[in-house]
Chain A
Amino acid sequence: MNFLSEYIYYIGAFSLIFIGLYIVLIKKNLIKVIIGLSIIDTGINLFLVSLGYITGGTAPIFSKSGLKSDNMVDPVPQALVLTAIVIGVAVLALALALAIKLYKHYGTLNLRKIKEQKW
């Protein structure tokens, strides 16, 4: 119980990652697999941000005078996630473009029916 309450953010992030992994492993539809990859992306971003959290901390921005520097969360994971989100969107779009091309070529999005695939 203690583990659950203390690590609830990690658990949430990793449940997202596992939901995404499950979709990637099990689902047959290529669009669903891409959605799964996107969910994994979200989970990893959440995990990185929660790694940098400090109990009771505020955002690392001195937008008002008088904010103390000793009660701020770690800015490094936030800076990583900031760019990762936008790159995630672009990579998702690239994956969807590949899906469009596969559909035009094979006429189906079912991964079991697409021939010539190795796995």
Chain B
Amino acid sequence: MRKLIGIILLLIIAGGITLSLKEIPFGIPKTKIGEHFIKKGIEETGATNIVTSVVVGYRGFDTLGEITVLFTAAIGLGALLSIYRKRKADRKAEPVSLIVYTGCRFLFPILLLVGTYIFIHGHLTPGGGFQGGAIIASAFLLMYLGCEGKRINDKVSTVIEVLGGLTFVALGIAGLILGKDFLFNFLPKGEPATLLSAGIIPVIYIAIGLKVGSELAGIIDNLIEKSQ
């Protein structure tokens, strides 16, 4: 009965959506603003990666809000699971097996390097703070899977997270003071397609990368350690 009602409901919604989707053409430009970003993006922000210039430059304030959502989710998770904190103080770091452990130890620094590269070059090549942060968190996940008992330093990750967020907000307020609005790009834009270009965009993306990486690593840490 429940199944039937569910399927009928879904069919009704699907019919409605099909009717409205017919009106949306596929494969043709739909927004004027996207064209403007592509044509004027390099000139206005100095970043060759237009997606980055949209995320951090044009709608940087929105990204600050999204960072806050991520932060709230991580905090909520920590608060929910903190009751079950049964930290075995002297749990030894035990390798799961020699081959897995060696492989993880070999891959861990490489993954960190790749993640860092991706968020430092976020304004030049595909990638950026969110992607680089996710790669860094995956390096920590690998470490957790490969070597039981090893865990990240809570204090260091919290400090990195807070510093990342503070850098973002401080740059925004600095833009308010030095320029005319929040997150104003007050640093010199430099030559496009070089590492030191695009003003505050790479700085903000590095802050975002560190923040996302430490936050996701903290989520993994909470889920693995406290739910056992």
Contact = CB atoms under 8 A, between A and B. Distances in A.
A51 B41 CA distance: 21
Nearest to B49: A61
Contacts of B50: 60-62, 72, 75
A57 to B, nearest CB: 8
Contacts of B41: 75
A76 B134 contact: no
Interface string B209-222: 00010011001001
Contacts of A83: 55, 63, 66, 130
Interface in B35-94: 37-39, 41-42, 48-51, 53-55, 59, 63, 66, 69-70, 73-74, 76-77, 80-81, 83-84
A55 B14 contact: no
B33 interface: yes
A71 B3 CA distance: 46
Interface residues of A, number: 46
Interface stretch (B5-13, B100-108, B161-169): B5-13
Contacts of B126: 59, 61, 63
Contact of A87 (B7, B31, B73, B192): B73
Interface in A32-90: 50-55, 59-63, 65, 69, 72, 74-76, 78-79, 82-83, 85-87, 89-90
A26 to B, nearest CB: 5
Contacts of B27: 53-55
Given A63-B124, A82-B130, A87-B66, A75 B81 contact: no
A97 B216 contact: no
Given A51-B24, A93-B223, 16 more contacts: A6-B26, A22-B6, A22-B7, A26-B2, A26-B6, A54-B27, A55-B27, A61-B50, A61-B51, A72-B38, A74-B29, A75-B41, A79-B55, A83-B66, A97-B222, A100-B81
27 contacts: A14-B17, A25-B6, A26-B2, A51-B24, A54-B27, A55-B27, A59-B126, A60-B51, A62-B192, A62-B193, A74-B30, A75-B50, A85-B130, A86-B70, A86-B134, A86-B216, A90-B74, A90-B219, A91-B73, A93-B223, A94-B76, A97-B77, A97-B80, A97-B81, A97-B227, A100-B81, A101-B83
Interface of B: 2-3, 6-7, 9-10, 13-14, 17, 21-22, 24, 26-31, 33-34, 37-39, 41-42, 48-51, 53-55, 59, 63, 66, 69-70, 73-74, 76-77, 80-81, 83-84, 124-126, 128, 130-131, 133-134, 192-193, 212, 215-216, 219, 222-223, 227
The 9 A-B residue pairs with the shortest CB-CB distance in the complex, in nearest-first order: A74-B34, A55-B27, A90-B73, A60-B50, A25-B6, A79-B54, A62-B48, A75-B50, A97-B80
